[in-house]
Amino acid sequence: MSTAPPAVGAPESLVTADRYCIQCAYLLRGLPTSGKCPECGTEVAMSLREPMLGSASLDYVRKVNSGLNFVLYGILFLVLMMILSIGAVFVMGAANAQLAMHAAGLIGSIMIYMGYWYYTQPDPGQVAEEKQRAARKVIRIVVAIQAVVALAHLVLGLIFGYNAPPGVRGAAPGAAPPDAIALVIGALGIASAVAWIIQYFAVMRYTRWLASRVPDRWIVKRTKVYMWLLPVLSTVGTLVIVGPLIALILYWNLLDRLRKHTRAVLAGKPRVLLRGVDG
């Protein structure tokens, strides 16, 4: 599949409007339309063809916005449930609390999976789609894998009672040996973890593309820094305990900032003028 050549052949024509690079949000005004972005090398013409989020179809922006809602509220829900579970152990006993946590975890996960699915809706007006569409598709595939793994986990749990307290273990009579099931569950857990890591980097790339269409340079810059910062905080950061929590807060705030823009677009404004938006 080859892309169409730049529409106009006049090499002297310059970008007159406040348009930004769709890959890195570099301000393109004054550059030749036939040139390349000085910061990342993306063709200027490609960025000019891409509609800004403010002029994208409202139906599309609405879906992206509700996707962000599901992801952000889903994360808040999971955090709240985690805090509540500490108290729940004393109120309803460890076994019941574990069961309730499992159910709550499932609800929160479904919210988040649905959220990423909506967040990565294809834009009908989108034209410059190579790398960006790849990230969008990766997120969708990985989210689908995670949903299947979660479902398999649930079904296995219901059949073999792996999540039940010790006395009830192997609830189904004549069930396969718990060791084999434990192995399957372990493998599913690893698959899910790998999927989650791939998804994280794809979300950063996809969010950068959306932010460059707002445009919000603050988000664009943050997605570049977060590519290494949040993984470091979530792994090495566990040594100081709060590392993963800080990573989660930074991630949440990043998506929340993009949601402020999608809300503004739905309210008829091109974007919100936040601190650093043009920086």
Interface residues toward Zn ion, by CB under 5 A: 21, 23-24, 26, 37, 39-40, 42
Residue closer to Zn ion (CB basis): 101 or 210: 210
For the bound state, the minimum distance from the C-beta of residue 42 to Zn ion, rounded and expressed in Å, comes to 5
Residue closer to Zn ion (CB basis): 27 or 148: 27
Q: Tell me the two tokens of residue 13.
A: 């024509």
Q: Tell me the two tokens of residue 220.
A: 């664009």
Instruction: Identify whether the C-beta of residue 210 lies closer than 8 Å to the C-beta of residue 20.
Output: no
For the bound state, the minimum distance from the C-beta of residue 20 to Zn ion, rounded and expressed in Å, comes to 8
For the bound state, the minimum distance from the C-beta of residue 136 to Zn ion, rounded and expressed in Å, comes to 19
Residue closer to Zn ion (CB basis): 26 or 160: 26
Task: Specify the 3-state DSSP secondary structure of 32.
Answer: strand
* Sequence-distant (≥ 6) Cβ neighbours of residue 64 within 8 angstroms: 118, 119, 121, 210, 262
Place of tokens 């006049």: 10
Residue closer to Zn ion (CB basis): 45 or 97: 45
For the bound state, the minimum distance from the C-beta of residue 28 to Zn ion, rounded and expressed in Å, comes to 8
* Sequence-distant (≥ 6) Cβ neighbours of residue 77 within 8 angstroms: 104, 107, 108, 111
Distance of CA 171 to the CA centre of its chain: 37
Instruction: Please report the sign of the dihedral spanned by the C-alpha atoms of residue 141, residue 142, residue 143, residue 145.
Output: positive
For the bound state, the minimum distance from the C-beta of residue 142 to Zn ion, rounded and expressed in Å, comes to 26
Residue closer to Zn ion (CB basis): 25 or 101: 25
Residue closer to Zn ion (CB basis): 17 or 239: 17
Rounded distance between C-alpha atoms, residue 165 and residue 149, angstroms: 22
For the bound state, the minimum distance from the C-beta of residue 134 to Zn ion, rounded and expressed in Å, comes to 17
Cα dihedral: 42, 48, 53, 58 (round 10): -130
Instruction: Identify whether the C-beta of residue 127 lies closer than 8 Å to the C-beta of residue 76.
Output: no
Rounded distance between C-alpha atoms, residue 26 and residue 46, angstroms: 13
Residue closer to Zn ion (CB basis): 113 or 209: 209
For the bound state, the minimum distance from the C-beta of residue 40 to Zn ion, rounded and expressed in Å, comes to 3
